[in-house]
Structure 1
Amino acid sequence: MGRMILLIAVGIFAWLAIQKFKYTPPDKRRKLLVQWVLIALALAAVLLAITGRLHWVGAAIAVVLPLLGQAWRTFGRHLPWIAPLIARHAQARAEKQKSTDEKAHRDHASATDREPQLTVEEARKILSVSAHASREEIIGAHRKLIQKFHPDRGGNDYLASRINAAKTLLLKQLEH
């Protein structure tokens, strides 16, 4: 009987958590999820302590940890010397993220710079079109190849980029 009551309580808790999570804006979902997980862990620790499977000190620590986190945030808002520390930490994280993004962009740009430039003849060979191919023939050949070699269909980025570059080069040549 005790297990049945426990199972019903867990089910109700899970249902409440899902309902709360479903109607929360996406930008606040992560914070809400962390809160619910911490509450669930605290309740599990208390339940284990009541049933004798966890020492009461362990349960007390599990219950106090979320409260300490909330107290730290409260003190951060009310003590003027903590606010600049938190702001400096947030700024350092933002700068680190920005430098990481810039490095990734530079690496991508240098990778595309290393690719050899296509000649018109190579572009024709890649797309298997003649020297007098029309715009429709070029687009059709491109479409057929990109369907085979697109990264989403088992191809790779390099092949897809070369096929796209060949199409772009040949279409530019037709315009001039």
Structure 2
Amino acid sequence: MNPFGLIILSAVALAGILWIQSRPPQLRERAKWQLIIILCALFLLYLSVTGRLHWLGALVAVMLPFSRRLIPLLRYLPFLHQLYKRRQQTPGSSNNRSRVQSAILEMSLDHDTGAMHGTVLQGPLTGQTLGGLSEKQFIELLQYCRDHDQESTQLLEAYLDKRFGDSWRQDDPGAGKDSHTNQAGPLSENEAFDILGLEPGASESDIISAHRRLIQKLHPDRGGSNYLAARINEAKDRLLS
């Protein structure tokens, strides 16, 4: 293939990949096969225009004797496809993490391990990760949240409960004090998708499945947080309403 043809084919392939990534998750598999068919058609058109299609016919003639052996193997394709889908759903996949953000904190939850991670977005500890804070810094951050944002307070308390159980409350100098700020407002659609660890356009079954998986890990009866369980329920209701 000459450089000009290669450039055109590469440009079409790149545009196709970007198009696939812009599609909703449940439509990407179909879009991928559509792109493959288009690329094959363009390649055949190029061979026809340049007079090189004859060698493709020769290749088909050579492969024909082997087709009888290959055709029985096609029955294994559904099994291989299911195996591939299972590998795509293993730990570490891009949609296997929930994200919640308040005015002061950004938190993420790994669906498989249940581990929570967080970053401070505002205040004296801006930029610090929660995993690297000392006990004194946790108390300082908690007091800052109580003074400025109740949603951040609830989010940090949920993190502390998940990480330390109830033991941290014994050292909490502000226990029992009421916050002077308002409750968090209603979730936007994008926030709801982030909480459930889904991409926009996820199907109803994906939403229900993600909600069930998260509630099983974070329900208060299983050592989870009332606040996080409430946000997960709110996210599901927002997307299914």
- Structure 1 length normalisation: TM-score? 0.33
Flag the structure with larger Rg. 1
More helix by share: 1
TM-score (norm 2): 0.24
Which is strand-richer, 1 or 2? 2
Between the two structures, name the one with larger relative contact order (CA 8 Å, sep ≥ 6): 2
